[in-house]
């Protein structure tokens, strides 16, 4: 059984998001993790340039896309998952607790079409679930704290952490969104840090901390355990929670949180059309 997937990362500078193309070198089956749908806020227009670039590489490499995996319902970018489902006929998987996120944010946007059962996604994954990607095995690790629904995916010797962990010199995810919890985040990260040191870690975003000028999104569990500025070494749970809560209190809401969440709880589908056939995003006042 292959245990070393081929991985290509595609960095989106507009949202600092990394989309991953993960493939099995034996069967050439592939998954796309956290695809980005481009969104221009000033004109309220979407486009598929970013995900088209991923698909171009996929086709040039002779790969077959078999699934889309979401680490969570993102607040900083729109997902292109539904676009891939419609154009490529592949299922979308996400953590089963997306239902909690839908229950929280569906009413905020008066989204009557969003049921709170996750059915808009094709596969709801529970902690410990495993499923094949060609000859590889994908393991689901429930890693709440940033949101209740966050999951990480372990595929062979690679771990995809979404927003739970960032590069060691940047730290960890915020935990102040509805349903977030710094203490739970600490415990989720401990599960990841218990994996073998040589496990490759692929983070969901990269931002440039002071002193670094190049974007990076691959590290290892051993490097995270030793050097992560928020949780590396012997940082206690109480110390982490105090740091995380103090830091979160200084952070602004993500710029795209309102358009992103109402699209992402729909798996990337647009809101249903109004009577005249047009579709609208809803921007509730004074809720963030």
Arithmetic mean of pLDDT, 97-103: 96
Q: Which of 3, 263, 16, 276 is nearest to 136 (CA)?
A: 3
pLDDT, tens only, 5-57: 999 999 999 999 999 999 999 999 999 999 999 999 999 999 999 999 999 99
Arithmetic mean of pLDDT, 104-109: 94
Given a contact cutoff of 8 angstroms between Cβ atoms, the answer to whether 68 and 31 are in contact is yes
Stated pTM of the model:
0.96
CA-to-CA dists, residue 260 to 107, 131, 149, 246, 257, angstroms: 15, 28, 16, 25, 5
- Could you state, in order of their start, the residue ranges of all structural domains in the chain? 6-261
CA-to-CA dists, residue 24 to 28, 69, 141, angstroms: 5, 15, 20
Query: Which bin fits 120, alpha (ψ -120 to 50), beta or left (φ > 0)?
Result: alpha
Average pLDDT of the chain, as a whole number: 96
Task: Give residues with Cβ within 8 angstroms of 274, minimum separation 6.
Answer: 280
CATH code matching the domain that covers 6-261, chosen among 2.40.50.100, 3.60.15.10, 3.30.540.10, 3.40.50.1220: 3.60.15.10
pLDDT of residue 1: 38
**Sole residue written with tokens 């839908």:** 102
> For strand 36-40 and strand 78-79, is the pairing parallel, antiparallel, or unpaired?
antiparallel
């Amino acid at each position: 059984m292959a245990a070393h997937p081929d991985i290509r990362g595609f960095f989106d500078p507009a949202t600092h998001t990394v989309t991953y193309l993960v493939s099995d070198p034996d069967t050439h089956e592939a998954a796309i993790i956290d695809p980005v749908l481009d969104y221009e806020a000033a004109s309220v227009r979407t486009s598929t340039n970013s995900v088209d670039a991923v698909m171009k590489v996929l086709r040039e490499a002779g790969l077959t896309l078999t699934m889309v995996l979401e680490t969570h319902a993102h607040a900083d970018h729109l997902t292109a998952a539904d676009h891939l489902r419609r154009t490529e006929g592949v299922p979308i998987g996400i953590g089963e607790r997306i239902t909690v996120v839908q229950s929280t944010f569906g009413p905020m946007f008066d989204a009557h079409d969003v049921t709170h059962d996750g059915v808009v996604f094709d596969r709801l994954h529970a902690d410990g679930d495993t499923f094949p990607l060609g000859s590889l095995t994908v393991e689901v690790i429930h890693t709440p704290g940033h949101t209740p629904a966050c999951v990480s995916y372990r595929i062979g010797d690679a771990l995809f952490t979404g927003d739970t962990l960032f590069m060691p010199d940047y730290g960890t995810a915020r935990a102040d969104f509805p349903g977030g919890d710094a203490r739970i985040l600490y415990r989720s990260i401990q599960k990841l840090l218990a994996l073998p040191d040589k496990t490759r870690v692929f983070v969901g975003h990269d931002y440039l901390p002071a002193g670094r000028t190049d974007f990076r999104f691959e590290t290892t569990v051993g490097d995270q355990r030793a050097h992560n500025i928020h949780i590396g070494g012997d940082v206690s749970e109480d110390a982490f929670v105090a740091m995380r809560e103090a830091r979160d209190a200084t952070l602004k809401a993500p710029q795209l949180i309102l358009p992103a969440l109402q699209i992402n709880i729909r798996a990337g589908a647009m809101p249903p059309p109004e009577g005249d056939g047009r579709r609208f995003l809803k921007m509730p006042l004074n809720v963030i």
